[in-house]
Structure 1
Amino acid sequence: MHSTRTRFRRGLIALGVVTFAAASLAACAADDSGSAAADELTSVGLQTNWILNSTWAGSYTADEEGYFEDAGLDVDILTGGPNVDFMAALSSGQALAAFAGFTEPATLNQDGGDFVVVGTLYQASPLAFISAAEDGITEPADLEGKRVGVSTTAMSVWEQFSSVAGIDTSTVELVPITTGPEALVAGDIDAYLGFSTEGPALLESLDIEPEWFLLQDYGYGYYVNVYTVRAADLEDDTKREQIKALLKADLEGQLAMIEDPAAAAQLTVDLHGQELGLDYDTELFTAESASQLFYSPTTEEHGIGYMGGDEMTVAMETLNMILGTDMPLDGSGYVDMSLLDEIRAEDPGFGILP
């Protein structure tokens, strides 16, 4: 955000020189004050786990609207992507917090890492089976007898989900794909495993009416884009306050994005559209679809970002299935909601979803 300072001159001739000198001194004082205020901001990194599209529109909004600055922070939003080790930025201290999937920090913790999850963007995973609406695939049983596209890296997801959802896999023809709807558009498959925040918009851009269902609605799912920090930082009084300030300010940006996804999508395109070839309509669909994933009975009770209830149980069951672990289903030892509890205690009106 940029502020505009307007200087006034009074035209009293007798006091012109004095007035001008006083105004100049006041301007210098104002500039010095502004510089001092800027110098007082603490520079921190917020690492994303994917490219800078409208998945992070709430964070851009927090920056644009001055929520980070009001929290005393100068936040560098760091890009992720297929070739970025986003957890390394957190491990090294380049980032104070990182958006991660629910599985990555837990996996690293098994190998000696010490990461803690302190909040989440979405209450449900956007993992979905996506198809053309005309094919009538609206639930897991509808995948039977169909050609289903799954990337090689997601085969374990298919195996676990099909078991949980009771799909007769002997009737399903699995087709290895990369990512995206290309195979569906080409007619090589009937449905594919993708993200509800992206795939349907791409189909619509090709004049194909999309249909999809979330895996989480059928017992398999976990939080994605969770706020992850180092346990050591959470135990350090200074770092803990910085994390809390960052968490609250970023969630304020998410609330603003939910209120006005069109503005958030436009901001995304303005910031990163030329570099990444982002399309406004696609980014708007992503923002609107993502907005729906913030809601759950847990957030109705505790506010945005909170993790608990049935969503936590499903997430931990899924996590244990993926990792072969037996972690507590309430997330204790891995998920820490104390910062959000403190934020709500200090500001009871914070976090109410629109």
Structure 2
Amino acid sequence: MTKLPSFSLTRRDMLISIAGAGLAMSIPGWAVGQTLTPVTTALGWIPNAEYAGLWIAIENGYFAEEGIDIHYTPGGPNAPGVLVSLSAGDAQFAGGDWIPFLEAVNKGNDFVVLGSAFPISPAALISLAQHPVKEPKDLVGIRILNQMPADKNTVDFILNKAGLPLDYTLVPTGFSPEPLVAGDGDAYFAFATNQPITLENMGLKRDTDFFVTLMADLGYATPAGIIIADKKYVAENRPLVVGYLKALVRGWIENGKDPKVAAQLIVDKYGADFGLELAQQIRQNELGQPLIQAAGAPGPFWFDTAVVQTTIAEIAKSAGITTMPPTEQIVDLGPLEEALAAIK
């Protein structure tokens, strides 16, 4: 569902769904006296621009308007997994990834996906002008800088889907794109909301000196940052679940009007303990906003569920998951549909 000198968010960190100690949110003054229901969200990483819409929704009182006393648990390297928090009842919603989610379901957890924070995944490849990677055929014969063993499955999926030979070399590297600039590889696994900022701060110009190609544009389209809840909780608290999604969507829509607002809140308040830089958070927020709504979708967080039994099923198979539940058992976009209709 996730930097510059003062803080560097790694690709590995964003892929691991983790959450940490609880942090309560204050309720706006005008909401005092209302009966609000406590709701906790387990975040996969520290409070930063990845959750910009959440901070706006909290500050503007959108959750309180829905009768929700909103709390969150921030993630971190030593925090428990978000699905652990969800299973234990310490959180009602969690931002996670498909593979851990499917593993948890296959172990007996009755979880359901309610939407995707990033229907267009920020997962991307960065390449330089001397060998731009813009389509699958550009991957053939090149050296690809990567950080995760599972990246091989991604490249293989793209090439197989395009009917191209599996002719490439993976070159293990760290979480900075600088080795790409140094010529250690021809392309670099990255997040479109993260490493491009480093290159921009080095004076390189996007679409001239370097190119950012989303995995989705290479044929590997998977919704990221899925919003997960316990199925029983959703059934017993459907109006509250709809209200939660409504508040969150409103926060992201409002965030798009001025990315600087949430960035300032992050630096001054929600992420104040992490030494985040304002300029970097603004830019990350700008880069993330186009990813919250897919083309043709009725609103943010919506994704085509057909992807579950196609791309996601193939990814799961590569990860060793042999049992793929029916889509209707693990995805329910009904509450999101109600929330989007209410906003309109």
Q: Normalised by the shorter chain, which TM-score bucket?
A: 0.7 to 0.9
| 1:207-252 Cα shifts (integer Å, max 9, x gaps) | 233311111122212111121100111121xx33322221111111
Q: Once the 2 structures are TM-superposed, how far is the Cα of residue 146 of structure 1 from its aligned partner?
A: 2.5
After superposition, the Cα gap between the structure-2 partners of 1:322 and 1:175, relative to the gap in structure 1 and judged at 3 Å, is same
The alignment status of 1:73 with 2:71, answered yes or no, reads no
Alignment of 1:140-289 (within 5 A): 140-155=136-151, 156-170=153-167, 172-209=168-205, 210-236=210-236, 239-289=237-287
Indicate yes or no: 2:135 matched with 1:139: yes
**Residue 182 to residue 274, structure 1, CA distance change in 2 (3 Å):** farther
Give the distance between the partners of 1:104 and 1:298, measured in 2 at CA.
28
Unaligned runs of 5+ residues in structure 1 are 6-33
Q: TM-score, normalised by structure 2?
A: 0.81
Displacement after TM superposition at 1:73 (Å)? 1.4
Contact 2:140/2:164, CA 8 A, preserved across alignment? yes
* Structure 2 runs not aligned, ≥5 long: 1-25
CA change 1:4–1:159 in 2 (3 A) is closer
Correspondent of 1:100 among 96, 100, 106: 96
Report the CA distance between 1:3 and its aligned residue. 6.7
Partner Cα distance (1:3, 1:220) in 2: 42
Asked if the contact 1:101–1:225 (Cα under 8 Å) also holds between the matched residues in 2, the reply is: yes
How far 1:2 moved relative to its partner? 8.0
Corresponding residue number in structure 2 for 1:314: 307
Of stretches 258-267 and 61-70 in structure 1, the one that deviates more from structure 2 is 258-267
Q: Is 1:128 aligned to 2:121, yes or no?
A: no
Displacement of 1:53 in angstroms is: 1.4
Give 1:88 shift: 0.9
CA distance 1:133–1:73, change in 2 (3 Å): farther
| Partners of 2:45 and 2:75 within 8 A in 1 | yes
Report the AA paired with residue 38 of structure 2. S
Q: Tell me: CA distance 1:277–1:320, structure 2 relative to 1, closer, same or farther (3 Å).
A: same
User: Does the CA contact (< 8 Å) of 1:272 and 1:278 recur in 2?
Assistant: no
Letter in 2 for 1:226: I
Whether contact under 8 Å (1:150, 1:158) holds in the other structure is no
**Equivalent-residue separation in structure 2 for 1:306 and 1:152 (angstroms):** 28
Instruction: State the Cα distance separating 1:273 from its structure 2 match.
Output: 4.8
Partner of 1:119: 115
For the residue of structure 2 that corresponds to 1:61, the secondary structure is helix
The number of equivalent residue pairs is: 309
What amino acid maps onto 2:157 in structure 1?
A: Q
Match of 2:51 in 1: 56
Q: Is the 8 A contact 2:53 2:252 kept in 1?
A: yes
- Rounded to whole Å, the distance in 2 between the matches of 1:132 and 1:268 is 32
Deviation at 1:315, TM superposition (A): 4.8
**Per-residue Cα deviation, 1:291-339 (whole angstroms, up to 9, x for no partner):** 111232342xx2222232xxx333541211122257588x322110111
| CA offsets 1:73-99 (integer angstroms, 9 cap, x no match) | 121122123443111111111111111
Greater CA radius of gyration, 1 or 2? Answer: 1
- Normalised to the residue count of structure 1, the TM-score between the two structures is 0.79
Do the aligned partners of residues 328 and 43 (structure 1) sit closer, same or farther apart at CA in structure 2, a change above 3 Å counting? closer
